[in-house]
A and B are shown apart, each in its own frame.
Chain A
Amino acid sequence: MAAAGGALTASMVEIPLFTGQNSSLQSQLSNSNSQLANLKKQLDMMTGLVSLSITEQALLEPVVETIIPTDSTGVGAKEAGVIYFIDRQLASEYGLSGNMFMDAPHVPPNIPASSSNPLQVNPSLAWAFLKLPSGAYSPAGGGGSANPISYSGGSQTFTAGGTPFTVNYGITASPRVGSGINYQYPMNMREFWRVSLAALQTYSNRAYGGNFQTLSSDNQLQILKDLWTNAPKTKTPIPADDLTGFSNIQPSDFAYELTFMTWAGFLMDPIYGGNRNMVGWDYVGFNGVNFGNAYGEGLSQKTLMVASSPTKLKPASLAQYQQQAAGGA
């Protein structure tokens, strides 16, 4: 339903020109209107997408709006421009996984213990043939052999305070979703999103009978909850030749990424494309880079930090701070 590329521009009200007013007031109003028009144009210049495809845009906007809906408490993800944040991130370092460690081998977490079917992984040649100054191999420092190494996990029983307890260790650890060792996919974030968004749409059609953007809001929320519980893998059979499903991705991992990036798009500095006009910050009461005097409030941090009740301040953005700083504040 959302038009491709279309989205909210700044909600500003045109001030109607009154006839019969004096000419100075008329020209002031005219100036204000053209200023507003310029600002709208500037914002419109920023209101575009560089990375998300047409189908991705059509899907993503209702998705993020489901996560943070427009409701009686205030604006939602759409108005905050969350998809612009996500779009820009997918086009830059986040999308390219620029600050991630992407080397092989890629071994998933949560592999259960198995002594009959252990995991066999080749060592790196660097480790296998690590030469020490003496010329010898060191078993602990390096392996001296390029044979695969076998991992089976297992249980271990300990005693502490006289009470034995058993801990079960899988072949790989079971980190929580969102922790730094959970993501082990051999794909960068842009690819992860592309594949996952397509898989989400596939699941929506298979399990709920239509594209996500056509469904009721109840079903839309349910689909996202299904991601968290990995229902697409357990409840909906994916044909073996289907490359548009969650065959290689854990739906809950995408659920995390979606939810995290939606909230980030709502609450990060507007310089990144989301949190437009700081509506997200208004909502949570965060002041951004207003240390108490960005608008001449004359408040001091030293007082605010020991107050016992909150003081609401208007937020200021990083760009505003820099402009004020450059002005010699």
Chain B
Amino acid sequence: MSTVIQEPSVDVVCLGVGFMSGVVATELALAGKKVVGITKGPYWDYVNDYSTTKYDEWGVGLGRKYDHPLPLQSTTIRNNSSQFALPVRRYTMPIQYHALGHGVGGAAQHYGGGMGRQGPWGYQMESLTASAYGSGFLSSINPQDDTHDWPLTYAQYEPYYVAWEEAHAICGNYNGSPTNSPSDMNYPWMSTNYPLPPHPLTPLGQLFQSTVQGMTAPNGQPYHPFPTVSALASQPYTNRYGVTVNPCVYEGYCGGLCDYACETGAKSNAAYRTIPAAIKSGNFTLVTNAYIFRLELSTSGDQVIAAHYYDAHGNIHRQPGTVFFNGMWGYNMIRLMLLSGLGTPYIYNSGLGTGTGTVGRGLTNGYTPYRGTNVTGTVNIGGNSYPAGNGSGGGMAVYELMDDNFIHSNISPPFIGGGLVSAGGYLGSGPGNITFAGGVSGPSSTNPNGSMGSAFKATQQKKYLPTKQTVGATPFAPDLPTLMNYCDLDPHYTDAYGDPVSRLTYDWTPNTYNGAAYLVNQIKTILDQMGATNVTVGSTVAPYSAHNDWWGHHLRGGLRIGTDPNAGTPTAWAALSGYNQLYLTPTTGVNYFAAGEITNTTGNNATAGTHVAGPQSYRAAEGIKKYLQYVATQGINYLAS
């Protein structure tokens, strides 16, 4: 047994140092508080560490050399509680499963830089659906439905979106909303535009824009296209903390199927946006190569006393603090809470179809299924599908096929919400040499020899120099929370230190593919108008099975939102439902806050999850400031906003 090294107590202990902790640590450090941030990986110095070695699809994409080492901690996956969950044993192309980041910046080391606000409707899916389509509608379309409103409305979160965007150098020009007013419940209206202008538009993006501007959306109004929102800085920028940001150099090793780290700091990442200001303040201590394995609780079990971690040599450290903020990757956070006995674990009874408890509840997927219902066409616009561009700019998007922007009555099969539809992103967003259309495959009717032989080889000739492009989508409507999808501790597998790994029980809810069946036809209409040829609705699939997988890297959830006390009611100060309310009494509060991709979002692009998490982190920072202000001596009324 190793000796335990006692660390001095601080005001705030941040667990994990990714996007969320970056915000909390910086906000609190700049407010004069002592903050410690603990991460299991290194501090990435993008100039030194990978500026010459990142152009390496094999090492980055498959080797995941700048990423979380899988033997350190993996996860297990199954579709249903009746199954044995299989561990994720390897990284594959495209990056799919265990998508934990590593080190300062976290998962922002490997994303394509997309961002997009969740609109007002997404925050009130339960109540708005009930008022529009009847109180029984949700439960009729979603088995064992567990969908709830967020604790705050979009209007209440909006200032925090602004702060997030100013801090992270988000680029765009939101001119999509017809009125851009707070009374518009169906558009993410904005009180101020993005701090940076959008990236240059591609010819396909222009075609999409001009096409939809002349079309009528299902709501009877014209489409209002807007540039895809990007977390790649488009210009030199100084953020709200005085941190300078380099603009994107468009070298194309960005998103695609490998999701590259950014060697100029242009891609938004806590390491280049928030943490520098925290370090500069002198109030922030960064502990790297430190693996958190437990949270020590008070004897009553409702306060966090200390975080315990292993350092790079295997010594155990005990880090006490007044407040703890969990900014770890979604289900890694849940795992830590379960290992520590924090909160009531979620227990699902498959026989009864009921679930009790909170921690681990409400797993949803925020990304498109691998081989789901899709529609494609061909447009005669070519280009270089090689390093030139980035992973999130160049295109245009429309909001009219999302949320409740069209009437869902009399659509069969029924669903709620919709999807963000966009086109025109840079072709050179990221090389995918060994993945092509989703990886090598075996013989099929379209490819009798699979990915082998001369006929297939010929299809790869000059594929990076296309004279035309396939345009289309595999859309999906929001994946709704259900009692059946959850996260808990795996009974059979452990991490490298001997603790159980997380287990994900997840299958697609019908809303996703029922929505897809409708959306593909809308997108088909747009493709036809664009003059696309060979427009084909393919692979209409229902229900999605394990084959239509794209799990892990956009599975979110575990501390699901809601307003009823039994499931964990959010406080006004934590951004999400969950822990803070669980042991609420009128005079004490819980010193544990969390933020992240831990609840459902509305079928916006995948990293709308990241963006949706953004306001949570600012909200949590605000709550922590208030907590510290009133702690112990004054009594806390968490029910007051």
User: Is there direct touching of A and B in the complex, by C-beta distance under 8 Å?
Assistant: yes
Report whether A325 and B52 are in contact in the complex, using a CB–CB cutoff of 8 Å.
yes
Report whether B70 and A99 are in contact in the complex, using a CB–CB cutoff of 8 Å.
yes
With A267-B433, A269-B56 already in contact, the answer to whether A225 and B449 are too (CB < 8 A) is: yes
A127 and B250 alpha carbons, distance in the complex (Å): 48
A235 touches B (CB below 8 Å): no
Report whether A161 and B338 are in contact in the complex, using a CB–CB cutoff of 8 Å.
no
Report whether B346 and A167 are in contact in the complex, using a CB–CB cutoff of 8 Å.
no
Chain A residues lying within 8 Å of B552, measured Cβ to Cβ, are 180
Report whether A154 and B82 are in contact in the complex, using a CB–CB cutoff of 8 Å.
yes
Q: Could you say which of A133, A175, A283, A322 contacts B461, with CB atoms under 8 Å apart?
A: A283
Contact with A along B184-212 (1 / 0, CB 8 A): 00000000000000001111000000000
Report whether A263 and B451 are in contact in the complex, using a CB–CB cutoff of 8 Å.
yes
Report whether A161 and B413 are in contact in the complex, using a CB–CB cutoff of 8 Å.
yes
Report whether A124 and B52 are in contact in the complex, using a CB–CB cutoff of 8 Å.
no
Report whether A310 and B467 are in contact in the complex, using a CB–CB cutoff of 8 Å.
yes
What distance in Å separates the Cβ of A131 from its nearest Cβ neighbour in chain B? Answer: 9
A232 touches B (CB below 8 Å): no
Report whether B494 and A304 are in contact in the complex, using a CB–CB cutoff of 8 Å.
no
Q: Interface-forming stretch among B86-94, B116-124, B168-176, B584-592?
A: B86-94
B453 touches A (CB below 8 Å): yes
A306 touches B (CB below 8 Å): yes
Report whether A260 and B97 are in contact in the complex, using a CB–CB cutoff of 8 Å.
no
Chain A residues lying within 8 Å of B338, measured Cβ to Cβ, are 138, 140-141
User: How many chain A residues touch the partner (CB < 8 A)?
Assistant: 112
A15 touches B (CB below 8 Å): no
Chain B residues lying within 8 Å of A292, measured Cβ to Cβ, are 388
Q: Interface-forming stretch among B272-280, B437-445, B524-532?
A: B437-445
Chain B residues lying within 8 Å of A267, measured Cβ to Cβ, are 433-434
B237 touches A (CB below 8 Å): no
Chain A, 106-150, CB within 8 A of any chain B CB: 107, 109, 111, 113, 119, 121-124, 126-128, 130, 132-134, 138-143, 149
Chain A residues lying within 8 Å of B340, measured Cβ to Cβ, are 132-133
Chain B, 63-94, CB within 8 A of any chain A CB: 63-64, 69-71, 74, 77-80, 82-84, 86-92
What distance in Å separates the Cβ of A195 from its nearest Cβ neighbour in chain B? Answer: 17
Chain A residues lying within 8 Å of B458, measured Cβ to Cβ, are 73
A228 and B461 alpha carbons, distance in the complex (Å): 24
Chain A residues lying within 8 Å of B70, measured Cβ to Cβ, are 99-101
B384 touches A (CB below 8 Å): yes
**A interface, by DSSP: helix, strand, loop or mixed?**
loop
Report whether A73 and B347 are in contact in the complex, using a CB–CB cutoff of 8 Å.
no
A315 nearest in chain B by CB position: B386
A324 and B140 alpha carbons, distance in the complex (Å): 63
B165 touches A (CB below 8 Å): no
A77 nearest in chain B by CB position: B457
Q: Which of B83, B383, B413, B449 has the most CB of A within 10 A?
A: B83
User: How many chain B residues touch the partner (CB < 8 A)?
Assistant: 118
Report whether B71 and A102 are in contact in the complex, using a CB–CB cutoff of 8 Å.
yes
Report whether A306 and B140 are in contact in the complex, using a CB–CB cutoff of 8 Å.
no
With A127-B490, A221-B449, A309-B467 already in contact, the answer to whether A101 and B388 are too (CB < 8 A) is: no
What distance in Å separates the Cβ of A250 from its nearest Cβ neighbour in chain B? Answer: 12
Chain A residues lying within 8 Å of B499, measured Cβ to Cβ, are 126
Chain A residues lying within 8 Å of B465, measured Cβ to Cβ, are 285, 310-312
Chain B residues lying within 8 Å of A321, measured Cβ to Cβ, are 52, 55
With A93-B63, A152-B82, A158-B143 already in contact, the answer to whether A225 and B450 are too (CB < 8 A) is: yes
What distance in Å separates the Cβ of A237 from its nearest Cβ neighbour in chain B? Answer: 23
Q: Interface-forming stretch among B146-154, B470-478, B542-550, B609-617?
A: B542-550
- Of the A-B pairs whose beta carbons lie under 8 Å apart in the complex, a sample of 28, sorted by A's number, is A99-B64, A100-B89, A100-B90, A111-B84, A127-B491, A130-B339, A134-B301, A141-B338, A151-B83, A152-B82, A159-B140, A161-B141, A161-B412, A172-B83, A174-B546, A178-B92, A180-B90, A180-B552, A183-B90, A263-B440, A264-B62, A285-B464, A287-B387, A291-B252, A301-B251, A302-B250, A305-B202, A310-B464
Sample of 18 further A-B pairs with CB below 8 A, known A101-B90, A126-B499, A286-B464 = A107-B86, A124-B492, A126-B498, A127-B494, A142-B489, A161-B140, A167-B507, A167-B543, A179-B96, A180-B97, A180-B552, A228-B450, A283-B461, A284-B464, A305-B250, A309-B382, A309-B383, A313-B386
A contacts, CB < 8 Å to B: 66-69, 71, 73-74, 76, 93-94, 97-103, 105, 107, 109, 111, 113, 119, 121-124, 126-128, 130, 132-134, 138-143, 149, 151-154, 156, 158-163, 165, 167, 169-181, 183-184, 221, 224-225, 228-229, 252, 255-256, 259-260, 263-264, 267-269, 271-272, 283-292, 301-302, 304-313, 318, 321-322, 325
